[in-house]
Structure 1
Amino acid sequence: MANKPKIGLVLANVPAYSETFFNSKIKGLQENGFDVILFSSSKSKVSHPTCKTIFAPNFDLRFSLIFEFIFIFINCLKNLKATYKLLKLNRKDGLSVKSSIKNIFINSHFLPYKLSWLHFGFGTMALQSENVAKAIGSKMAVSFRGFDLYIYPAKFPNCYQLLFSKNVIYHVLSDEMKNTLIEYGVSAESINKITPAINVDFFQPSIKYETKNSVFQFITIGRLHWKKGLEYTLEAFSILKKQNIPFHYTIIGEGIEREKLMFAVHQLNLHSNVTFVGKISHNDVKNILEKSDFYIQYSIQEGFCNAVLEAQAIGLLCIVSDADGLSENVLHEKTGWVVPKRNPPLLAERIVKTIALSEAEKIKIRENAMDRVKREFNLTKQMELFKAFYSF
């Protein structure tokens, strides 16, 4: 293809090997005739292995600051038209001359590139860059994934006021997120829902599924962060322990809440029932999933959650909270169960009821979930939707 459509993807960090969503998206776009340039704010400056990587200026290192400014100055001179247009757009938005120039410095790494789309991978990445796409003559897209739409604005009210006034096409993970943007005044026609997807060929059971453990095996995968609701989950399991229900709960992932959660395990007397595995490979995750019976995702806030899709694809019975996109990920009493968040007794009650189901009832739910994930949340379907997205 002589003139490949160029997509500039803006992320805070270069996706690691384990970050399958962005890596799958980059690979899929490349295989479908798109040229992808990754723009990153990473300080490590380790490039992505499969696409050109451009790094934002680093103003933190004093000894190299003069070289950054020289590079920025040369960049602006070489791209004078885009620089001047960005200055005019910033001034039109009411920024002072000083703030407008500072904004040009922040966005100088975008100026040399002629792109079909400049796509900010998270809403927060678009802050202070609301005018740069128009300045370089590209269309602008912004993805919202959860934290950036629900938690960040709670800390910084009106942070997206300028962004929402611009001509932007938005990507969201769920109808819930689409409705939230509409409440902010964003036009429904400019919002596209494209859910996460997984490798359904990899995440499928290697054995016929059944509840096979005399000690019921539960699992959660995710960052050890307060929004994952893990403390509420542990409180629910403490109720099960008091009822003498035999269980073991495995938590896969690392994060800032590990010490707090380990102390909760201590206070709730769950030492022999809970294991923190830490961060492990996809193959190891799949192996543990296959040895488990139930998956729990009792989050306080959750954009959608790939791990729940993976668990359903493997054949686990999934119990999730009603946080944001989870009730679209799991269909209540059809492919799993949805429980109101922040209510450990209610979660415990649901777990007990699920354990008590007949094997025939469990098989029906499992098969419904596996079929739906394979049909609706595969990478091929997702890429077709993104191809349509960039044809807007």
Structure 2
Amino acid sequence: MKIGIVLAQPPSYSETFFNSKIKGLLEHGYTVELYVREKSSGYKNCKVFTAPKVSKNRIIQLFKTVFVLLVLLFSLKRLLRFIRLEKSAGRLRAQIFKNVYTNSHLLRANIDWLHFGFTTMALQSEHVAKSIGAKMAVSCRGYDMDVYPLKTPNSYDLVWKNVDKVHTISKYMLAKANANGMLDATKTMIITPAINTARFEKDIEKQIDETKPIQITTIARLHWIKGLDYTLRALALLKSKDIKFKYQIIGTGTEYEALRFAIHELGLEDSVSFVGELSHHKTLQQLESTDLYIQYSQSEGFCNAVLEAQAMHCLCIVSDGGALPENVLDNETGWVVPKRDSKALAETIFRVLNRDALALKAIRTKARKRVLTDFTIKHQIQSFIDFYE
């Protein structure tokens, strides 16, 4: 079976969900091809096909368009079928012409499944799978379901009409897909993120040392949806109670300046540091020395970082945003706090730090065992095999 996965670009080292999926399917005898808009050098896990780029120079663009159309003449039946389907959906000629150009690499694909790694990636490509005689799948992730539909209501109507099967990464994402118009008859499957358990074989004994500052970590891009501003306010409340801590944020993003200003205003400059982007190996090293992991996002599709933090024996406190309550079980494997409530977060941290050491050890142990049992790459790959079969 041949599976074509559509992404903006080949997955980076940190995108473990896609990398483990591709590697696992290949190991089970499937052929996997990537179809991307931007090709990054060095990706060798499978064949990569790049969409034609649009040039600002009209003359150059004219030559590129002619070349693409000439190549598509070898797939004339597919091209005509695609144009017919686009017309039947009421698209204007200019948009159809543009879609032919941008989807030309997909229209030449010889595959059994065309799987869009994000639902937004399927927009303006809804008729490609039918045109090439393949089945169509989409994955529903955080931005797809939480943010994009707010900006463009009913944007997925054509996706839902043409998709054969929908993959979601959590129960929360499935509910959001339904709320965003997914048809009741659509076949769906929940396949959560997973971790490579071989990287977490070392069983670390942890205990909070009250003579030293508490080591707190968050792994997140610097973006409003990650709730870092609320986390900082909670930590300021802890500092006002003379609780000593060191908080590190692993990640980069557009909100760096705003967060730096907030740290200054809250008087946290000696307690908070930005680590920037780290390799996966170095990230795990940071988690090894972490006492408390916080993911106080306004919403998460699931969050791989929280899984890895639990596997590294970190005490995890998360918000109730999105699928985080599916990731961390409140008062069993960690703590779930209502989102956008810095006072509640601060009070939860304070309670955790004052819990009995044996009680905290039991929570760490249960969290680690659950992750290493229920969120394995092996289970994830078998789920994808079932999904395509």
TM-score, normalised on structure 2?
0.96
Task: Map residues 304-315 of structure 1 onto 2, 5 A cutoff.
Answer: 304-315=302-313
Task: Map residues 154-169 of structure 1 onto 2, 5 A cutoff.
Answer: 154-169=150-165
Correspondent of 1:279 among 277, 280, 285 = 277
CA contact (8 A) 2:204 2:312 kept: no
What is the distance in 1 between the residues matched to 2:94 and 2:214? 62
Compute the displacement of 1:19 (Å).
2.1
Correspondent of 1:239 among 237, 240, 246 = 237
CA contact (8 A) 2:118 2:141 kept: yes
1:193 correspondence with 2:190 = yes
Compute the displacement of 1:205 (Å).
4.2
Change (3 A) 1:47 1:88: farther
Cross-structure match for 1:262:
260
TM-score, normalised on structure 1?
0.95
Compute the displacement of 1:293 (Å).
0.3
Cross-structure match for 1:122:
118
**Paired letter, 1:234:** L
Cross-structure match for 1:106:
102
1:57 correspondence with 2:86 = no
CA contact (8 A) 1:178 1:188 kept: no
What is the distance in 1 between the residues matched to 2:251 and 2:94? 44
Q: Deviations over 1:91-125 (max 9, x none)?
A: 11112333322221221111121111000000110
Compute the displacement of 1:166 (Å).
2.0
Q: Deviations over 1:305-343 (max 9, x none)?
A: 000000000000000001111010001111101101000
Compute the displacement of 1:188 (Å).
6.2
Compute the displacement of 1:45 (Å).
5.2
* Structure 2 residue runs without a partner (length 5+): none
CA contact (8 A) 2:138 2:163 kept: no
Change (3 A) 1:84 1:45: farther
Secondary structure of the residue aligned to 2:257 is: helix
Cross-structure match for 1:384:
382
Task: Map residues 64-79 of structure 1 onto 2, 5 A cutoff.
Answer: 64-79=60-75
Cross-structure match for 1:80:
76
What is the distance in 2 between the residues matched to 1:130 and 1:315? 43
| Structure 1 range deviating more: 171-180 or 116-125 | 171-180
**Paired letter, 1:255:** G
| Structure 1 range deviating more: 145-154 or 99-108 | 99-108
Cross-structure match for 1:96:
92
Change (3 A) 1:315 1:205: farther
Secondary structure of the residue aligned to 1:90 is: helix
CA contact (8 A) 1:120 1:143 kept: yes
Compute the displacement of 1:148 (Å).
1.2
CA contact (8 A) 1:89 1:131 kept: yes
User: Aligned pair count?
Assistant: 386
Q: Deviations over 1:356-386 (max 9, x none)?
A: 1101110111011001000111100000000
Q: Deviations over 1:185-211 (max 9, x none)?
A: 432651210000011221354532222
Cross-structure match for 1:36:
32
CA contact (8 A) 2:234 2:346 kept: yes
- CA RMSD across the alignment: 1.5
Change (3 A) 1:354 1:204: farther
What is the distance in 1 between the residues matched to 2:55 and 2:120? 20
Correspondent of 1:339 among 333, 337, 340 = 337
